[in-house]
Amino acid sequence: MPISTEEIALLIKAYDFAANKHRDQRRKDALESPYINHPIAVAQTLWTTGGIRDSTTLLAGILHDTLEDTDTQAAELEAIFGTSVRAVVEELSDDKSLPKEERKRLQIEQAPKKSQQARLVKLADKICNVRDILQAPPKSWSVDRKIAYIDWAAAVIAGVRGSNPAMEELFDELCRQARQAI
Known catalytic residues are: 68-69
- For the chain, state the CA radius of gyration: 16
Of 27, 36, 34, 39, the closest CA to residue 64 belongs to 39
Of 60, 56, 72, 181, the closest CA to residue 130 belongs to 181
Q: What's the rounded Cα separation, in Å, for the pair 80 and 110?
A: 27
**CA-to-CA separations, 64 to 57, 67, 139, 145, 168, in angstroms, rounded:** 10, 7, 24, 24, 19
Task: Encode 76-106: b = buried (16+ Cβ within 10 Å), e = exposed.
Answer: ebbebbeebbbbbbebbbbeeeeeeeeebee
DSSP state string for 106-141: HHHHHGGGS-HHHHHHHHHHHHHHHHHHHHS-BTT-
Q: What's the rounded Cα separation, in Å, for the pair 64 and 132?
A: 17
